[in-house]
Amino acid sequence: MLKQLSIYAENAKGTMKEITDVLTNEGINIWGSVTNDSAEFGIIRMVVSEPERAKEKLEQAGYFCKLCNVIGVEMADEVGALNRLLKALYDSNINVDYIYLSFNRDSGLPVQILHAQDAPEVEDCIRSKGFKTISE
């Protein structure tokens, strides 16, 4: 199971740079991220090399952060791979709250990062259907 860091930040010039400054200075690698914004604030979701320490350091810098479980699923880089995963989840009556892309630096393959309720159960279901999940 992967831990995702969610950072709630002002939608202002330089905010992303300030966040990445903190992570860079701490030697924390960003493995995948997605940003959702609104007029004034946004949520930056990241899978990083040291989630607990990243949370601590970003909170010290004044950001509100939260950790949650997400599932990383390694897939073939081919047409229909994501569709097969989503079909398996649909057939198992599992709703995906959101999904974003990363990649496995060792294998070079895409990794879909997904959030769903009851993440441990969903991860077991995905594995039982033949998909490879990624852990920290």
pLDDT of residue 135: 80
Instruction: Report d(CA 64, CA 56) in Å as an integer.
Output: 10
> What CATH number does the domain containing 116 carry?
3.30.2130.10
Domain of residue 119, residue span:
70-134
**Of 68, 90, 111, the domain-final residue:** 68
pLDDT digit string (tens) for the chain, length 136 residues = 899 999 999 888 999 999 999 999 999 999 999 998 777 789 999 999 999 999 999 999 999 999 999 999 999 999 999 999 999 999 999 999 999 999 888 888 999 999 999 999 999 999 999 999 998 6
Q: Is 26 left (phi over 0), alpha (psi -120 to 50) or beta?
A: alpha
Q: What share of the chain is helix, strand, coil (3-state, %, to 5)?
A: 30, 40, 30
pTM: 0.89
Residues 53 and 74 in one domain: no
pLDDT of residue 136: 66
The domain tally of the chain equals 2
pLDDT of residue 106: 85
Residues 80 and 93 in one domain: yes
Residues 35 and 74 in one domain: no
